[in-house]
Amino acid sequence: MTTSVTIGNLQVTALVDLTPPPRDVSMIFPDVPAADWEPHQALALENGMWQTQYCSFVIRPASGEGPVVLVDTAMGPGPHEPDGVPGRLLEELAVNGVEPGEVDFVITTHPHGDHVGWNVTYDGDTARATFPNAQYVVSRADWDQWTSAAVAPNVPAIGHSLQPLEGLGVLKLVDGEQEIAPGIKTLPANGHTPGHQCVLIESGGESGVVIGDLFHNLAQVTQTAWCPMFDWNQDMARTSRRDILGRASSGGWTVFAGHLRIGRNIGKVTGSRERFTWQPV
């Protein structure tokens, strides 16, 4: 089971915070007829159901010298429905030799609740940064959207896990492509949310991309038009999906997909816009 891949001098490791119960794809992709899933049963579903995972990725120099970057903070401490299990991200980091204080940057692909859960930890009502020495990188378009008076009060994760970053003095808003650490930069891929961003990794002539929620299910690699109900602007999401997959294919990028199952969520993409194919590494 591959959970760690080296891109040039940078090591990228998948960390599973939580594995939720399988879900019915017809609920997640309401516009896709059930029969259209048939060709994808073997690769994209398990017993006809969508089994996702909530993953973060840690990127650090293979030498051990240099910034440690965490992409997304998954579901958080919990306890989570339906079994009351806690998130495991901090244990997964520890197993991989990373203490919270060693994380220099937390890059948020987008502030949905399953990507910001460990941002802050509460002592009673008091929030503290779970990664106390990190700057938390959030796209300005998402910050503006999700913290707006019209949206924030209706989305508990925003008040709980996103807005406290500003008062804690750890928030770093970015626009467009911006280098965060050597060889690591934000790559806008809007549509899932207004400011959704991937993370591009370039080192030693090799490239990789952490895709956030560019796609949720492997079937979307070939069926790039399929959108889950979570996509904010479906046309924009499709355009971003095809653009990034095309660049990954032509550039030989390694792709890190947090919602695919661990062990098959790191792969390469081949083909073109007409038909992309996923090859796990």
Q: Which residues contact Zn ion by CB under 5 A?
A: 114, 213
CA gap 163, 237 in Å, rounded: 25
Complex with Zn ion: residue 111 or 183, whichever CB lies closer: 111
Residue with Cβ nearer Zn ion (181 or 221): 221
Q: How far is the CB of 141 from Zn ion (least distance, A)?
A: 17
Distance (Å, whole) CA 88 – CA 19? 10
Instruction: Using the minimum distance from each CB to Zn ion, give the nearer residue, 103 or 211.
Output: 211
Taking the complex as a whole, the smallest distance from the CB of residue 275 to Zn ion amounts, in Å, to 25
Identity of the residue, 28 or 168, whose beta carbon is nearer to Zn ion in the bound complex: 28
Residue 25 Cβ vs Zn ion, minimum distance, rounded to whole Å: 15
Considering the complex, state which of residue 142 and residue 213 has its C-beta at the smaller distance from Zn ion: 213
CB of 223 to Zn ion, least distance (A): 18
From CA 15, how far away is CA 100, in angstroms rounded? 14
Closest approach, Cβ 35 to Zn ion, in A, equals: 26
Mapping DSSP onto H, E and C, the string for the chain reads: CECEEEECCEEEEEEEEECCCCECHHHHCCCCCHHHHHHHHHHHCECCEECCCEEEEEEEECCCCCCCEEECCCCCCCCECCCCECCCHHHHHHHCCCCHHHCCEEECCCCCCCCCCCCEEEECCEEEECCCCCEEEEEHHHHHHHCCCCCHHHCHHHHHHHCHHHHCCCEEEECCCCEEECCEEEEECCCCCCCCEEEEEEECCEEEEECCCCCCCCHHHHCCCCCCCCCCCHHHHHHHHHHHHHHHHHHCCEEECCCCCCECCEEEEEEECCEEEEEEC
Choose between 53 and 186: whose C-beta lies nearer to Zn ion. 53
* Smallest separation, CB 250 to Zn ion (Å): 26
**Please, what is the minimum distance in Å from the beta carbon of residue 154 to Zn ion?**
18
Residue among 181 and 245 whose Cβ is closer to Zn ion: 245
